[in-house]
Amino acid sequence: MTPPGRSLFFIALGLFGLYVVEFGVVGVLPTITERYGVSIAHAGWLVGFFALIVAVVGPLMVLWLSRFDRRKVLVIALLGFGLCSLLSAWATSFSMLMALRVPSALLHPVFFSAAFAAAVALYPPEQATQATARALVGTSMGLVIGVPLTTWIEATLSYEASFYFCALVNLIAAIGLWLMLPAQPSGGNAQPGSVLSVLRKPVVWYSIGATVAIFGSMFSVYSYAAEYLGRITGFSSQTISLLLFVFGIGGVAGNLLAGRLLGRWQAMTVLGYPLTLALAYLLLLMLGSADMGAMLPICLLWGAAHTSGLVVCQIWLGSAATEAPEFATSLFVSSANLGTVCASSISGWFIATWGMPGTLISGWIFAALGVAFILLRIVTGLVYDRQRMQACS
């Protein structure tokens, strides 16, 4: 029997490849604007349009394809990501590049949900949380390292090479999963009544609202990270990729810290998250400059604050719907991507109105909305607990 750790490694690698496909374009947006003659706000829709598709069709795609063997679903999705990345390197127009985002966006929620379900199925029930956390490493790495890595490849080799890299990662993950992951028949036996009962809970909707707002705050700025850093510092593409790599290091540390804090003080950690992110944006505005000594710690803090939003939102939303974990995962994916598409459109409008600092204004507005939704859920939970105690007495 294949050790579960080997299968889990390729699941994590696939999640890394998925997020490199979705967000790798962030690091090459300046080149895309020059190559196709579009504005930076227009180019930002490569992220926003992708996220919109995921947000709209995510749960439906998950429910539809959950009937099939997970290994086949995972491998086919990865091959789809790889093929679209390969063709993107040869796209002759911005419209063609945008169109090639559609198949990957359709397969994104399917792969994400199936990947975590497959990871949990590899281990005994008592190790499910550990398996989920290990698989989440791939997601985190894709978010925090994928962008600076593709930026570095584009700056060092070529624009096309950055897409070849995405294709190669997904191909390796697909081969690894086909060879290492045991066949896993149909994982989707979701009970309609259970799903409906989840959607009737106010705390679920408040958690969805918080996830949308927090991802809106995260990607209001991150979607334009390379362009923003380039404009406020004047650094070269190679130096920007270094700053984004430092951002990624901070993200790894922030994710680990957030995971520990959530295990001890979940509500307070979640409430403190958007405030910490807003603080990082304030430092970026006040201290961002061509001074490398100032930019390194700022990017480190920004990365820690940004990336921990993934685990914060996933655990927060999952804790509101423990009776339907797979459906909760699809809700998280859709909510996160809805926040991302809102960020792309609203932040783009702010850029057009106030220039690149408009991204920070958008980030602060979404952070404030996140705090409001989190407080609503906390208060609703307290009221529910009090009513339950009174009923019992």
CA 20 from centre of chain: 10
pLDDT of amino acid 259: 74
CB 205 within 8 A of CB 260: no
Q: What is the mean pLDDT of residues 60-64?
A: 75
pLDDT of amino acid 104: 93
Look at residue 145 and tell me whether its pLDDT is greater than 80: no
Look at residue 131 and tell me whether its pLDDT is greater than 70: no
Tokens (6 digits) for 325: 């974990």
Q: What is the mean pLDDT of residues 286-304?
A: 84
Q: What is the mean pLDDT of residues 290-314?
A: 85
Between CA 318 and CA 315 the distance in angstroms is 5
Look at residue 284 and tell me whether its pLDDT is greater than 70: yes
Between CA 123 and CA 121 the distance in angstroms is 6
Confidence label for 391 from pLDDT (cuts 50, 70 and 90): low
pLDDT of amino acid 220: 87
Helix (H, G, I), strand (E, B) or coil at 96: helix
Q: What is the mean pLDDT of residues 334-340?
A: 85
Greater confidence (109 vs 391) lies with 109
pLDDT of amino acid 233: 76
Helix (H, G, I), strand (E, B) or coil at 345: helix
pLDDT of amino acid 385: 57
Q: Say what percent of the chain tops pLDDT 70.
A: 88
Chain-wide mean pLDDT for the chain?
82
Query: Domains in the chain, please, with CATH?
Result: 1-186 (1.20.1250.20), 190-392 (1.20.1250.20)
Look at residue 392 and tell me whether its pLDDT is greater than 80: no
CA 86 from centre of chain: 22
The string over 141-155, giving b where at least 16 C-beta atoms fall within 10 Å of a residue's C-beta and e elsewhere, is bbbbbbbbbbbbbbb
Q: What number of CA atoms fall less than 13 Å from residue 187's CA on the CB side?
A: 27
Look at residue 289 and tell me whether its pLDDT is greater than 90: no
Question: For 80-92, what is each residue's pLDDT tens digit?
Answer: 999 999 999 999 9
CB 66 within 8 A of CB 186: yes
Q: Of 181, 199, 203, whose CA–CA distance to 190 is shortest?
A: 199
Q: Of 26, 228, 45, whose CA–CA distance to 145 is shortest?
A: 26
Look at residue 346 and tell me whether its pLDDT is greater than 80: yes
Would the pTM count as exceeding 0.85? no
Q: What is the mean pLDDT of residues 238-256?
A: 79
Look at residue 117 and tell me whether its pLDDT is greater than 60: yes
Look at residue 367 and tell me whether its pLDDT is greater than 90: yes
Tokens (6 digits) for 294: 């100032």
CA 148 from centre of chain: 15
Look at residue 8 and tell me whether its pLDDT is greater than 80: yes
Between CA 93 and CA 256 the distance in angstroms is 41
pLDDT of amino acid 1: 52
* CA separation, residue 258 to residues 32, 167, 283, 301 (Å): 34, 31, 20, 13
Tokens (6 digits) for 296: 């390194």
Question: For 174-202, what is each residue's pLDDT tens digit?
Answer: 999 999 888 766 555 555 555 657 778 88
CB 18 within 8 A of CB 140: no
Look at residue 256 and tell me whether its pLDDT is greater than 80: no
Report the range out of 124-133, 220-229, 268-277, 294-303 with the highest average pLDDT. Answer: 268-277
C-beta atoms surrounding 275 within 10 Å: 13
Class of residue 339 by CB neighbours under 10 A (exposed 0-12, middle 13-18, buried 19+): buried
Helix (H, G, I), strand (E, B) or coil at 201: coil
Tokens (6 digits) for 177: 């999963």
Look at residue 37 and tell me whether its pLDDT is greater than 70: yes
Greater confidence (353 vs 4) lies with 353
pLDDT of amino acid 128: 60
Tokens (6 digits) for 3: 């050790």
Between CA 335 and CA 100 the distance in angstroms is 23
Class of residue 28 by CB neighbours under 10 A (exposed 0-12, middle 13-18, buried 19+): buried
Question: For 309-331, what is each residue's pLDDT tens digit?
Answer: 887 888 888 788 777 766 777 78
Backbone angles phi, psi at 188, to 5 degrees: -105, 90
